[in-house]
Structure 1
Amino acid sequence: MTVPLGGVPLADHASVYAALAQAGFTDLWSAEVNGTDAFTPLALAAAWQPRLRLGTAIATVYTRGPGLLAMSAAALAEAAPGRFALGIGASSPVLVRDWNATRFTEPYRRTRDMLRFLRAALRGDTVDEVYDTFTVRRFRLERTPAVPPPILLAALRPRMLRLASAEADGTILNWLAAADVPRVLAEVGHRRPGFEVAARVFVCPTEDAAHARALGRRLITNYLTVPAYAEFHRWLGREPVLDPMWRAWAAGDRSGAAAAVPDELVDALVLHGAPDVCRAGVRRYVAAGVDTPVIALLPTPEIAAGGAAALATVIAQLGPGTRN
């Protein structure tokens, strides 16, 4: 499950994490956009739920310096030894440049350089290196984790996917349909033992299709107009479907852009329906080659009306099974 859950204060997530564990969820993965940072929700989970696996999806390679990102990862790996995975990626110009006043340049090389730096730093090396996009002088972690975390790389198109396959411990996919997974994984090629494929899967567990599709359209117009995601979907062959949305967005017509997104695309990218229908949709990602489907739970009228009790019910219904 993607955490924290919207509408629930972070201080109240102890009961949320307990419900997720009881429902059979194995992993908690954090996102980092403009809500919480990637590490704080997982630090709380490390203390509150000592059996759940934790992961960042993702911590961006721009908004923390190399040393600070290594320190954050090492601290969480120490707090949750053997059950933390560090997911990193380039993110987007909006988050990096517009919101964090940092230049968004050479995303492939910056991600590659950070991956190589983190690999060395987290195994306890003294790093004294001139990389293509930054230089680190004699950095060594004071507290090296006993179990260095695996590093997963957020990737969309062939070059980044091949970098993940060659140098990372896995890859993190986002904003794709289950039917897209084989095309993407073809670029990964032969998967080494232990190489993990995680994918965020958007789930809106309601039978109110109008609500789910309206929410899906807003999300699609907000995300798939970001250059990296637009190019990803062009590569997937969706230019004829998405071109009307892109043209309306470029003209400043936000409502027109949303209206141009067809139901069929929303239904492919955002699972909705009764919880058992959504669970079946998640299983299609697994059948297509995803090892770790990470649900991103979207708001529903039922959760809004029923509050914490309704949320707990949905968690139980979506979960893979009660744990002993």
Structure 2
Amino acid sequence: MTYKWGMTIPFYDRPLSRSRELIARLPELGYTDAWSAEVNGADGFTPLALASEWAPGIRLGSAIVPVSTRGPGLLAMSAATLADLAPERFVLGIGASSPAIVERWNAGHFDRPYARTRDTLRFLKKALAGEKVSEMYETFAVKGFKLERAPEIPPKIVLAALRPGMLRLAAAEADGAITNWLSPDDVRQVRAVIGPDTELIARLFVCVSEDAEKARELGRRLLAGYLTVPVYAAFHDWLGRGEALRPMHEAWAAGDRQAALKAIPDEVVDALIVHGDAATCRARIRQYVDNGLDTPVLAPIPGGDLSIEQAVRELAPQG
């Protein structure tokens, strides 16, 4: 195996407190990476701090922590801590997130998301290199911040990016791009924007089930929650799914959630959710890699034919 093969932590079926044994097994199963998330469950850093001890040698990444729910200095401190715990193994993934997470849940301001992400990236590159930062950025100002103990090796920084503007920023100024909810064919479109040399990371939602209708039902619930968010709606407009998803958006806007779920076409679910038996799922994941994805980060969905623990084992690249 010459490419990376990641897993999402914590797992969807258990709290972090009961995840040690399975996380510790990831390297022997063939997983190269473990990536956290930060929505309304575990924060983006604590699982990685624990995994740095539970699974020595595995690469650790945040996918993603929002740039508007922490101050720039606090974000730098958290990243420096992980870089110290896992030198050369920690990758800081940051992104704009969404109005729901930033404003409704965290009392922040979702203003000028592209500029805020760009400015945070530029600040972090200086701060994590040990520089004293006093600078007026377009979206915030920092006066005299310097890490008490900068990491000996600054972590790589990758950006959540869904459309050309942010993808180009990731390619020009960051160490990679993270994307989400795309098909193997969509990878080519994203890769065309960032070029051949930028690492491309994507979380892939996987349902190990030979019952296609059950997998589609589970997938629709996830898709409706994501694809109705404006940034994802715009992403799929760019990818060419605007008309296919229009009935879903109309039903969602009218407040009819059940109609919105039913309106997502099977072909869209099949394109964006990896499902089938374990061998079929692994083959589908490799299609993403063949089309230009460097790092698939699997997220097994509860409710399939296998438990999450079984799915983690069966989806391993050597499975």
In the superposition, the TM-score normalised over structure 1's length comes to: 0.94
Q: Percent identity?
A: 58
**DSSP-derived class of the 2:305 partner:** helix
Alpha-carbon deviation of 1:51? Answer: 1.1
Q: Does 1:124 align with 2:130?
A: yes
CA distance in 2, matches of 1:236, 1:224: 12
**DSSP-derived class of the 1:248 partner:** helix
- Residue in structure 1 matched with residue 120 of structure 2 by the alignment: 114
**DSSP-derived class of the 2:19 partner:** helix
- Residue in structure 2 matched with residue 3 of structure 1 by the alignment: 9
- Residue in structure 1 matched with residue 4 of structure 2 by the alignment: none
Match of 2:72 among 51, 63, 66: 66
Structure 2 stretches of 5 or more lacking a match?
A: 1-6
Q: Does 1:36 align with 2:42?
A: yes
Matches within 5 A, 1:1-324: 1-191=7-197, 195-303=198-306, 310-321=307-318
Q: For 1:201-233, what per-residue CA distance to the aligned partner results, in whole angstroms no more than 9, with x for missing partners?
A: 111111122221111111111100000000010
**DSSP-derived class of the 1:133 partner:** coil
CA contact (8 A) 1:201 1:294 kept: yes
Alpha-carbon deviation of 1:18? Answer: 2.0
CA contact (8 A) 2:103 2:109 kept: yes
Alpha-carbon deviation of 1:301? Answer: 4.2
CA contact (8 A) 2:92 2:158 kept: yes
Aligned residues: 313
CA distance in 2, matches of 1:314, 1:204: 9
CA contact (8 A) 1:19 1:316 kept: no
- Residue in structure 2 matched with residue 306 of structure 1 by the alignment: none
CA contact (8 A) 1:203 1:278 kept: yes
CA contact (8 A) 2:95 2:117 kept: yes
CA distance in 2, matches of 1:97, 1:17: 32
CA distance in 1, matches of 2:47, 2:155: 17
CA distance in 2, matches of 1:30, 1:184: 22
Partner letter of residue 218 of structure 1? R
Partner letter of residue 126 of structure 1? K
Alpha-carbon deviation of 1:317? Answer: 1.3
Q: For 1:143-170, what per-residue CA distance to the aligned partner results, in whole angstroms no more than 9, with x for missing partners?
A: 1111110000110111101111110000
**DSSP-derived class of the 2:205 partner:** strand
CA contact (8 A) 1:19 1:315 kept: no
Partner letter of residue 319 of structure 1? A
Higher deviation after alignment, 66-75 or 13-22: 13-22
Alpha-carbon deviation of 1:19? Answer: 2.5
CA distance in 1, matches of 2:115, 2:109: 14
RMSD of equivalent CA atoms: 1.1
Higher deviation after alignment, 28-37 or 200-209: 200-209
Alpha-carbon deviation of 1:190? Answer: 4.9
